[in-house]
């Protein structure tokens, strides 16, 4: 049976960590390599990891200085020996049959990436289903390029979570999460998908995403979050456009991403960003097959931008 390496980045989650680890070690699929990366926790999370290591010989514990979630995931990727890689965040948990279901799909499809639904978990009484996938779909690339690109943009909305997918380990050859970034998943979404020849999307809801006070979504008013969110959104748009250059859908996506970025620049003139990077790329869309209405919108925003910076 093939080994699935599960990478769990951990930082100060002593309240939720036991439920997360119990959901992993009690999986009905047993051929697991469970890699716990204690990223410099200052609470009892590190001790909990060591305790579980004594209970289950499939567990590997790495204690390291704090480097952030991307650094922790990258550490796990480098030492993983499994055929497939999965990510579980340490305040979340998973369905006990998750890897059995995914392994069955591996056996029948030989998928490079399997993509599945998740629950949004507030408490045992507040659970909602995020149903991105309503039916099973298989994309054999490059044959199904157009169909996949259409669905990725219009149905799956370029959602970049890394924890709602199972990957062949080779997908991560030469790809790492960006260091010290918020929205880190979104930076590498298209790069990962672009390395796959066989992608399966299944309607099963297998992952419980816990909405905690420390969740990234609580940080949306933080400037660092906003800048990283904008850049990850731009990178996804640029990468998507590289898959289908100068198509209407790709250019529209670029237009929306750059317009959003320029709006942020106009409203936050003193923040740290590369103005020329945004400005030149947005201007270049004037020479694509965008609609006249959107080109006029770009011109008006560029005029507004020039007016704003001339005041400083």
**Using CA atoms, how far apart are residues 199 and 189, in angstroms rounded to an integer?**
13
Q: Does 244 share its domain with 206?
A: no
Q: How far apart are CA 44 and CA 48, in angstroms?
A: 6
Is 124 found in the same domain as 265? no
Share of the chain above pLDDT 90, in %: 51
CB 34 within 8 A of CB 3: no
Rounded (10°) angle between helices 145-154 and 223-243: 150
> Are 207 and 223 in the same domain?
no
Indicate the average pLDDT of the chain: 85
Does 225 lie in the same domain as 206?
no
Does the pLDDT of residue 242 top 90, yes or no?
no
Minimal CA–CA distance to 207: which of 120, 310, 302?
Answer: 120
| Phi/psi of residue 69, nearest 5 degrees | -65, -35
- Both 104 and 119 in one domain: the answer is yes
Pair (183, 49) in one structural domain: yes
Q: Tell me what the mean pLDDT of segment 47-55 comes to.
A: 97
> Average pLDDT, stretch 294-307?
71
Asked if residue 241 and residue 133 are part of one domain, the reply reads no
Query: Domain range for residue 249?
Result: 219-309
Q: At what angle do helices 184-194 and 69-79 cross, to 10 degrees?
A: 40
Residue 259 near residue 269, CB atoms below 8 Å = no
Q: Which of 105-114, 220-229, 254-263 shows the lowest mean pLDDT across its residues? A: 220-229
Least confident range from 28-42, 69-83, 159-173, 282-296: namely 282-296
Boundary (domain end) residue, out of 185, 212, 239: 212
pLDDT at 136 over 80: yes
- Top pLDDT among 110 and 307 is at 110
| Domain identity same for 140 and 269 | no
Cα–Cα distance, 278 to 301 (Å, whole number):
12
Question: Is there a single domain that holds both residue 166 and residue 275?
Answer: no
> What pLDDT is recorded for position 278?
64
Q: Residue 218: what pLDDT?
A: 47
Average of pLDDT values for 115-133? 89
Q: Band of the pLDDT at 300, cuts 50, 70, 90?
A: confident
Phi, psi of 114 (to 5 degrees): -115, 130
CATH code (residue 25) = 3.90.550.10
How confident is the model over 165-224, as pLDDT tens digits? 999 999 999 899 888 777 777 778 888 998 999 999 999 999 999 987 655 444 555 666
- 101 CB burial (10 A radius; 0-12, 13-18, 19+): middle
- Note whether 124 and 147 are same-domain residues: yes
Residue linked to tokens 């945004």: 278
Pick 223 or 49 by higher pLDDT.
49
Query: For 154-241, where are the E strands, in sequence order?
Result: 165-168, 198-210
Region 229-255: what's the mean pLDDT?
Answer: 78
DSSP structural state of residue 178:
P
Same domain, 257 and 182: no
Look at residues 184, 212, 240 and tell me which one is the last residue of a structural domain: 212
**What is this structure's pTM?**
0.84
Q: Which of 88-92, 136-140, 258-262 has the lowest mean pLDDT?
A: 258-262
Question: Domain boundary residue among 212, 235, 263?
Answer: 212
Check residue 253 and give its pLDDT: 81
Same domain, 173 and 39: yes
What total of structural domains would you count in the chain? 2
Give phi and psi for 32, each to the nearest 5.
Answer: -120, 145
Angle at 197 between CA 191 and CA 198, to 5 degrees: 110
């Amino acid at each position: 049976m093939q080994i699935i390496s599960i990478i769990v980045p951990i930082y100060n989650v002593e309240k939720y960590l036991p439920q997360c680890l119990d959901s992993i070690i009690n999986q009905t699929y047993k051929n697991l390599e469970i890699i716990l990366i204690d990223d410099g926790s200052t609470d009892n999370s590190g001790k909990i990891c060591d305790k579980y290591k004594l209970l289950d010989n499939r567990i590997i514990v790495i204690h390291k200085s704090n480097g952030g979630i991307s650094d922790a995931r990258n550490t796990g990727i480098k030492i993983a020996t499994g055929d497939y890689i999965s990510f579980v965040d340490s305040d979340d948990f998973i369905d006990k049959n998750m890897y059995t279901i995914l392994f069955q799909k591996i056996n029948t499809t030989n998928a490079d990436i399997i993509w599945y639904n998740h629950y949004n978990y507030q408490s045992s009484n507040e659970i909602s289903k995020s149903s991105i996938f309503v039916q099973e779909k298989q994309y054999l690339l490059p044959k199904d390029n157009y169909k996949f690109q259409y669905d990725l943009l219009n149905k799956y909305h370029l959602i970049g979570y890394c924890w709602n997918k199972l990957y062949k380990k080779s997908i991560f050859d030469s790809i790492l999460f960006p260091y010290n970034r918020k929205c880190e998943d979104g930076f590498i979404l298209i790069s990962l998908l672009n390395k796959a020849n066989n992608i399966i999307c299944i309607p099963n809801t297998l992952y419980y995403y816990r909405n905690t006070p420390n969740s990234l979504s609580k940080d949306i008013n933080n400037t660092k979050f906003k800048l990283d969110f904008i850049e990850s959104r731009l990178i996804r748009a640029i990468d998507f456009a590289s898959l289908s250059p100068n198509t209407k859908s790709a250019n529209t996506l670029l237009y929306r991403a750059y317009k959003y970025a320029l709006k942020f620049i106009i409203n936050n003139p003193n923040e740290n960003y590369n103005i020329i990077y945004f400005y030149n790329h947005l201007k270049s869309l004037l020479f694509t097959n965008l609609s006249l209405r959107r080109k006029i919108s770009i011109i008006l925003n560029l005029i507004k931008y020039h007016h704003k910076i001339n005041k400083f």
